[in-house]
Amino acid sequence: MKYGHFDDARREYVITNPQTPYPWINYLGNEDFFSLISNTAGGYSFYRDAKFRRLTRYRYNNVPVDDGGRYFYISDGDALWSPGWKPVKSDLDEYECRHGMGYTRFNSVKNDLRARILYMVPLGEKAEVQKLSLTNEGQSKKSVKLFSLAEWCLWNAEDDMNNLQRNLSTGEVEIEDGVIYHKTEYKERRNHYAFYSVNEKIQGFDTDRESFLGLYNGFQEPRRVREGTPGNSVAHGWSPIASHFLELELKPGETRELVFVLGYVELPEEEKWESKGIINKKPAKEIIGRYRNASDVDRAFDDLKSYWDDLLSRFVLDSGDEKLDRMVNIWNQYQNMVTFNMSRSASGFETGIGRGMGFRDSNQDLIGFVHMAPQRSRQRILDIAATQLPDGSAYHQYQPLTKRGNDAIGGNFNDDPVWLILSTVTYIKETGDFSILDEQVPFDNDESKALPLFDHLSASFTHVVNNLGPHGLPLIGRADWNDCLNLNCFSSDPNESFQTTENQAGGTAESLMIAGLFVLYGREYIRLARHLGKHELADEAGVHVDAMEASVIEHGWDGDWYLRAYDHYGKPVGSDQNEEGKIFIESQGFCTMAEIGKEQGYPRKALDAVKERLDTPYGMVILNPAFTRYYIEYGEISTYPAGYKENAGIFCHNNPWVMIGETRIGRGDRAFEYYGKIAPAYLEEISELHRVEPYVYCQMIAGKDAYKPGEGKNSWLTGTAAWNYYAITQWILGIRPDYDGLIIQPVVPAEWKGFSLRRRFRGTDVEIEVIQTGGGTVTAHLRRWCLKCLGKGEK
């Protein structure tokens, strides 16, 4: 069952049934000011930091779900409704929600009254702008009462939830010229306030939640809306809100357009006040002044569209498969940018208060947007590297505001450092900008310990070499991807975090995934070194990589697949000997990408084992068989119910590793089969089962051991998007930037006739047409293709 459809021409997903199986959201904003918005207008806004500068209040895991947002209530005769269906939930004659690139639109009708709303954050603006137009499509005059509603959050989203004995006494507002200003704590240490305006004279307002809703009413049934009169309440403590009240007369055929602005203002200490206790509203009025009327908003909307036209013009595929094209050209790239902007902090599943930037995560995310945002990518690499410790290890997370490593989470996740090599070489291959390697970058944010970025890559490489276990394989440390195989934790306290609890001393647990990662990106490090003429260094490094490969061949092969690890006691993990968890996807992915044991035929064998044991109709599970009890020596991975999350769920993040592995042995059919199983556009028809958005990837899909295999969770913010984009564009379509140009090496299904695409590469638009000329599955793919490359930069 579908709940809408794609409109690829407009780059929109169009939801036509408001009762989606889960709230389907979108993101507004590109730089500092962001909003989450669902298909029923739920969600919230924040400035830069979803924890410390939360503008509007939102309750996660709420009943009803996603209750709270920026709502409009329309009272038209006997009809009381909301254009987004919620919160009123009246039956609508028409309902449509269009999630586009950085904006969301509603178009709904009830009783011959049409309401169109555009929600957007204009480029460079610290505000969400809402254009509401009402059209009387009936035959007689209408008198419409309109109420807006936003509930203010008291800035610090965590404190806002918990510190009620204080927070219910602090709320303060001002109301002037129909603009509602939220100034809680402005009188003291804050130098910022928020406001909500409308560009018409209002007939009333409310700023006190209880006065507006009534203490015992939900958002569905505000007392003031029911009564049809505003309370003109001025909040003092409790819960400040912003609600405008307007009475609108609409002749038949008449359209009225209103512009609402929900904005954020910061002021220097000396300019905070207009007069004692009265805030300086000048900057707010400037923002409001930029959106005086609908055409101002339309212009801003055009600018936003141009911005995305430009971003998405850098890789444009015409494959003949509309689902593939919409993933590659629109939604996967869009999701990559959102993940970049949000740093995985705020989604429908991430509350925005719990996470910093992941060292591992951010490096991987970068491979999905470096072609769109090379300058921002450059800065991010430098920011990440600056948190690395002198021994090459890394804080697992760092704080986005301070850009410093997060002591509270700590480090010792031994795969972390290696990902820095991936992000850096990917950046250089895309841009040709080797100068980044010469940037002086601190260790542990200590400028006195700054060294060129290249030395950080060396430190990453060396950290693995310096931390080998008894089989010559990398020590896993606290855990590798995805945090949950905790071989040194031995935790028995349910209130202990597996990510931070003290580890058993003398841990010798080793990871085959890090081994594969090291061989793969160690070779990239060597290639880079040679490129820079550092041949001695490269030779030396080569010895370590060769040794690692040999160790994997000797100690890491279980007979039909690669082991996953050796545990604290030196016992194999992910072996046919094990009762549960016989085979894991991560090491198969990385060891086949690295082609370890190619001569022995290991990659093909391993990939066949993956197909046999891990593949399902909904993607490949992370391991098999699922754990049915807690293994204290394995940690969090065995805490989940079978089929969920790291315990045999389908992680969309690691499926691309196997896709790439398949391309390395030339199996384009299988690589693309795997791609299509988890690519959301291909899942649109099973939305009822999949639940989460059909336009973006989710972190996990329930595996074959789960109650509902195929049910998705944790959508939007996941390295999944970057890896799938990387796999489809660079390895399946095979358009792969390299230091000296673009490699074109498609490994696609046999029945494809070909494809064409346009790709910007180092400032030039390269047009490529690929036509399949027949032939069987062979390893030398180039022979199977006739290439017509127009433009420059091809190889």
Residue 37 Cβ vs a copy of itself, minimum distance, rounded to whole Å:
17
d(CA 151, CA 55): 9
Q: Which of 108, 239, 387, 592 binds a copy of itself (CB under 8 A)?
A: 239
Ramachandran assignment for 435, one of left (phi > 0), alpha (psi -120 to 50 degrees), beta (any other) = alpha
Q: Which of 700, 721, 727, 757 binds a copy of itself (CB under 8 A)?
A: 700
135 forms beta bridges with: 114, 255
d(CA 560, CA 577): 12
Q: Which of 128, 321, 350, 524 binds a copy of itself (CB under 8 A)?
A: 350
The stretch near a copy of itself (CB under 8 A) out of 64-72, 103-111, 507-515, 588-596 is: 64-72
SS3 assignment for 384-396: HHHCECCCCCEEC
Q: Please tell me whether residue 640 binds a copy of itself under the rule CB under 8 A.
A: yes
Q: Please tell me whether residue 60 binds a copy of itself under the rule CB under 8 A.
A: yes
Residue 7 Cβ vs a copy of itself, minimum distance, rounded to whole Å:
25
| Closer residue to a copy of itself (CB): 219 or 521 | 219
d(CA 383, CA 445): 9
The stretch near a copy of itself (CB under 8 A) out of 7-15, 343-351, 599-607, 770-778 is: 343-351
Q: Which of 31, 143, 168, 391 binds a copy of itself (CB under 8 A)?
A: 168
Q: Which helix (H) or strand (E) holds 459?
A: helix 453-465
| Residues present in the chain in total | 795
Supply φ then ψ for residue 743, to 5 degrees.
-85, 140
* CB 243, CB 224: distance < 8 Å: yes
| Closer residue to a copy of itself (CB): 62 or 306 | 62
Q: Please tell me whether residue 181 binds a copy of itself under the rule CB under 8 A.
A: no
3-state secondary structure of 178: coil
Number of residues near a copy of itself (by CB under 8 A): 75
d(CA 613, CA 173): 60
Q: Please tell me whether residue 165 binds a copy of itself under the rule CB under 8 A.
A: yes
Which is catalytic among the residues 325, 483, 558, 615?
483
Tokens 């740093």, residue located:
343
* CB 508, CB 486: distance < 8 Å: no
Residue 298 Cβ vs a copy of itself, minimum distance, rounded to whole Å:
33
Residue 231 Cβ vs a copy of itself, minimum distance, rounded to whole Å:
14
Q: Which of 713, 759, 781, 784 binds a copy of itself (CB under 8 A)?
A: 713
SS3 assignment for 402-445: CCCECCCCCECECCHHHHHHHHHHHHHHHHCCHHHHHCEEEECC
Tokens 């090379």, residue located:
374
Which of positions 729-788 make contact with a copy of itself (CB under 8 A)? none
Supply φ then ψ for residue 747, to 5 degrees.
-130, 85
Q: Please tell me whether residue 448 binds a copy of itself under the rule CB under 8 A.
A: no
Cα distances from 583 to residues 123, 181, 518, 758, in angstroms, run: 48, 58, 20, 40
The stretch near a copy of itself (CB under 8 A) out of 136-144, 212-220, 668-676, 769-777 is: 212-220
Q: Which of 77, 253, 277, 559 binds a copy of itself (CB under 8 A)?
A: 277
Which of positions 75-104 make contact with a copy of itself (CB under 8 A)? 86, 89
Q: Which of 216, 270, 617, 763 binds a copy of itself (CB under 8 A)?
A: 216
Residue 550 Cβ vs a copy of itself, minimum distance, rounded to whole Å:
37
Q: Which of 472, 641, 754, 791 binds a copy of itself (CB under 8 A)?
A: 641
| Closer residue to a copy of itself (CB): 190 or 534 | 190
d(CA 679, CA 696): 8
Q: Please tell me whether residue 64 binds a copy of itself under the rule CB under 8 A.
A: yes
d(CA 582, CA 755): 39
Residue 8 Cβ vs a copy of itself, minimum distance, rounded to whole Å:
28
Q: Which of 9, 78, 189, 751 binds a copy of itself (CB under 8 A)?
A: 189
Q: Please tell me whether residue 652 binds a copy of itself under the rule CB under 8 A.
A: no
The stretch near a copy of itself (CB under 8 A) out of 288-296, 317-325, 587-595, 644-652 is: 644-652
* CB 201, CB 188: distance < 8 Å: no
d(CA 649, CA 696): 18
3-state secondary structure of 198: strand
Q: Please tell me whether residue 639 binds a copy of itself under the rule CB under 8 A.
A: yes
The stretch near a copy of itself (CB under 8 A) out of 5-13, 344-352, 410-418, 513-521 is: 344-352
Q: Please tell me whether residue 215 binds a copy of itself under the rule CB under 8 A.
A: yes
d(CA 241, CA 181): 10
Q: Please tell me whether residue 510 binds a copy of itself under the rule CB under 8 A.
A: no
**Residue 159 annotated among the catalytic residues of the structure:** no
Q: Please tell me whether residue 645 binds a copy of itself under the rule CB under 8 A.
A: yes
The stretch near a copy of itself (CB under 8 A) out of 160-168, 333-341, 502-510, 771-779 is: 160-168
Which of positions 296-315 make contact with a copy of itself (CB under 8 A)? none
Q: Is 388 exposed, middle or buried (0-12, 13-18, 19+ CB in 10 A)?
A: buried
Q: Please tell me whether residue 155 binds a copy of itself under the rule CB under 8 A.
A: yes
Q: Please tell me whether residue 706 binds a copy of itself under the rule CB under 8 A.
A: yes
CB atoms within 10 A of CB 274: 13
Q: Please tell me whether residue 62 binds a copy of itself under the rule CB under 8 A.
A: yes
The three-point CA angle 248-174-160 to 5° equals 105
Q: Which helix (H) or strand (E) holds 71?
A: strand 70-76
Q: Which tokens go with 199?
A: 């560009």
Residue 535 Cβ vs a copy of itself, minimum distance, rounded to whole Å:
45
Q: Please tell me whether residue 349 binds a copy of itself under the rule CB under 8 A.
A: yes
Which of positions 135-154 make contact with a copy of itself (CB under 8 A)? 151
Q: Which of 16, 17, 90, 170 binds a copy of itself (CB under 8 A)?
A: 170
Site string for a copy of itself, 4-33 (x = CB under 8 A): ---------------x-xx-----------
Q: Which of 10, 48, 59, 758 binds a copy of itself (CB under 8 A)?
A: 59
Give the chain's count of helices (H) and strands (E). 20, 41
Q: Which of 91, 201, 448, 629 binds a copy of itself (CB under 8 A)?
A: 629
d(CA 548, CA 555): 10
Q: Which of 9, 63, 505, 780 binds a copy of itself (CB under 8 A)?
A: 63
Q: Please tell me whether residue 172 binds a copy of itself under the rule CB under 8 A.
A: yes
| Closer residue to a copy of itself (CB): 44 or 672 | 44
Q: Please tell me whether residue 508 binds a copy of itself under the rule CB under 8 A.
A: no
Q: Please tell me whether residue 651 binds a copy of itself under the rule CB under 8 A.
A: no
Q: Which of 139, 375, 448, 492 binds a copy of itself (CB under 8 A)?
A: 492
Tokens 């206790």, residue located:
277
Q: Which of 143, 163, 306, 779 binds a copy of itself (CB under 8 A)?
A: 163
The beta-carbon contacts of 690-696 under 8 Å, at least 24 apart in sequence, are 690/21, 691/21, 691/22, 692/21, 692/22, 692/24, 692/348, 693/13, 693/24, 693/25, 694/2, 694/13, 695/6, 695/13, 695/99, 695/331, 696/331, 696/334, 696/335, 696/338, 696/721
99-123 as b/e, with b when 16 or more CB fall inside 10 Å?
Answer: bbbbbbbbbbbbbbbbbbbbbbbbe
The catalytic site residues sit at: 483
